[in-house]
Amino acid sequence: MDIEDTLLMMPGPVPVASRALRAMSKPMINHRGADFSAMYDDCCEILAEVFQTQNDIFVLSGSGTAAMEAAIGCTVSSDDVVVTLENGKFGERFKDIAARYGKANPLEIEWGHSFDLAEVEKKLEEGAKAITLVHNETSVGIQNPAEQIGKLAKKHDALFILDGVTTLGGSLVETDKWGVDIAVVGSQKCLAAPPGLSMLSVSKRAFEAMDDKGNLPYYLDLKAYKKSGDKSQTPYTPAVPLFFGLQEALHIVKEEGMPSRINRHATGAAAIRAAADELGLELFPQLHDDNSSYSNTVTAMKAPEDVSGNDIKKDMMARGITIAGGQSHLSGKIFRIGSMGNFQPKDLLLTIQELEIVLKNRGVISEIGKGVEAANNVLDRLF
């Protein structure tokens, strides 16, 4: 099947709007000139709205993992303890990064399960320079309690480092209100920009921690980004075409407005969950209390009995829809449908329709149509 005929319904990268793709074909400009500076300032101004912050914002020419590493590498020394919260693949990644720069003290629970806040506090009571949290654990479809973790971090005087890679631009993130010292986001998720850029908001307190750090990373030195950012520049050569695409994608975000965008994402995910329930599919996350919730940007479902999630993914691909499977030990056990970026109802309904056909062909369901109807009933509330 032609790649142009394939619908991306995975948790990133997501489809990029035609106007953003066209923007990337603009003639090259001087990355040290006034035109780039104006574009950089424009991006940061809109991002401040997305982050809900008055902190400094920087754009890195590197993926979300680069921003995660910058956050840790610039604040954590070899003797510093970092409490890392892990209930999925990207919490595990934060743990691995923290272990490279300092001493990781992980709170590891079964993937897809909710954190016990009392256990989180016990970890912090042992002493910590920082605590990391993946706000939306994309690998398992669970949204973790960032606001509550932020309160615990403040109580125990730990830097709060938040992976908002798949929530910023699609779900409510109140960086300043929640006491987040460093928040990171990737370009190719809810912002619906091309892959390859990441953005961070950095608090004054985080910069003070860098003063005590000693050696900082070279390319990911956030103090260097601060020095250049104050001049509306980046310290090293930026990926200019990706900046063109990011700026246009952010204009789309601004035109929609964050409240409407958040509502659209929440409604889209609710529609997928309604369809899953109607089709007898069990959601993967295990929510033990009111602190965590199902993700508003990706829905993770258990594969039906005797059917591999990888086969569902393959069958959907053959029908022109790209969804995601499970990662690591969850490979084959779950499959995931993204609802992030600039998706519209027709994208969700087409995905559910094709999923019903795949499940019927696999002998999981006997008739089709009920999932689409359930999803459409939810979408009608918004559209």
Express as a percent the part of the chain with pLDDT over 70: 98
Does the pLDDT at position 291 exceed 90? no
Structural domains in the chain (count)? 2
Average pLDDT (233-247) is: 97
Can you give the pLDDT at residue 164?
97
CATH number of the structural domain spanning residue 51? 3.40.640.10
Can you give the pLDDT at residue 383?
62
Indicate the pLDDT class of residue 290, thresholds 50, 70 and 90.
Answer: confident
Indicate the pLDDT class of residue 212, thresholds 50, 70 and 90.
Answer: confident
Which residue among 219, 238, 254 closes a domain? 254
Tell whether 189 and 108 lie within a shared domain.
Answer: yes
Indicate the pLDDT class of residue 215, thresholds 50, 70 and 90.
Answer: confident
Indicate the pLDDT class of residue 99, thresholds 50, 70 and 90.
Answer: very high
Does the pLDDT at position 165 exceed 90? yes
Structure-token pair, residue 49: 């709205």
Return the number of other C-beta atoms located less than 10 Å from residue 23's C-beta: 21
Structure-token pair, residue 261: 């965008």
Indicate the pLDDT class of residue 2, thresholds 50, 70 and 90.
Answer: low
Which residue among 192, 222, 254 closes a domain? 254
Phi, psi of 202 (to 5 degrees): -130, 125
Which has the minimum average pLDDT: 69-83, 128-142, 285-299, 302-316?
Answer: 285-299
Omega of the bond leading into 238 within 30 degrees of 0 (cis):
no
Tell whether 72 and 169 lie within a shared domain.
Answer: yes
Tell whether 48 and 119 lie within a shared domain.
Answer: yes
The tens digit of pLDDT for each residue in 273-289 reads 999 999 999 999 999 77
Does the pLDDT at position 182 exceed 90? yes
Indicate the pLDDT class of residue 334, thresholds 50, 70 and 90.
Answer: very high
Tell whether 53 and 183 lie within a shared domain.
Answer: yes
Does the pLDDT at position 381 exceed 90? no
Tell whether 40 and 160 lie within a shared domain.
Answer: yes
Express as a percent the part of the chain with pLDDT over 90: 95
Tell whether 52 and 196 lie within a shared domain.
Answer: yes
Indicate the pLDDT class of residue 292, thresholds 50, 70 and 90.
Answer: confident
Average pLDDT (298-319) is: 96
Tell whether 245 and 267 lie within a shared domain.
Answer: no
Tell whether 153 and 278 lie within a shared domain.
Answer: no
Can you give the pLDDT at residue 3?
64
Check if the beta carbon of residue 278 is closer than 8 Å to that of residue 369.
no
Beta strands, E only, the chain: 7-8, 56-60, 81-86, 103-108, 130-134, 136-137, 142-143, 159-163, 182-186, 198-202, 293-294, 298-302, 321-322, 324-325, 334-338
Indicate the pLDDT class of residue 293, thresholds 50, 70 and 90.
Answer: very high
Does the pLDDT at position 5 exceed 90? no
Tell whether 178 and 215 lie within a shared domain.
Answer: yes
Tell whether 120 and 108 lie within a shared domain.
Answer: yes
CATH number of the structural domain spanning residue 296? 3.90.1150.10
Average pLDDT (129-135) is: 98
Tell whether 333 and 297 lie within a shared domain.
Answer: yes
Beta-carbon contacts of residue 344 (< 8 Å; ≥ 6 apart): none
Structure-token pair, residue 239: 């990926």
Tell whether 368 and 228 lie within a shared domain.
Answer: no
The angle that helices 345-361 and 309-318 make with each other, rounded to 10 degrees, is 120
Can you give the pLDDT at residue 1?
54
Beta-carbon contacts of residue 96 (< 8 Å; ≥ 6 apart): 104
Domain of 298 in residue numbering reads as: 3-13+258-379
Cα separation, 49 vs 297, in Å, equals 19
Considering only residues 4 and 332, tell me which one the structure prediction assigns the higher pLDDT.
332
Which residue among 254, 282, 306 closes a domain? 254
Does the pLDDT at position 268 exceed 90? yes
The tens digit of pLDDT for each residue in 31-89 reads 999 999 999 999 999 999 999 999 999 999 999 999 999 999 999 999 999 999 999 99
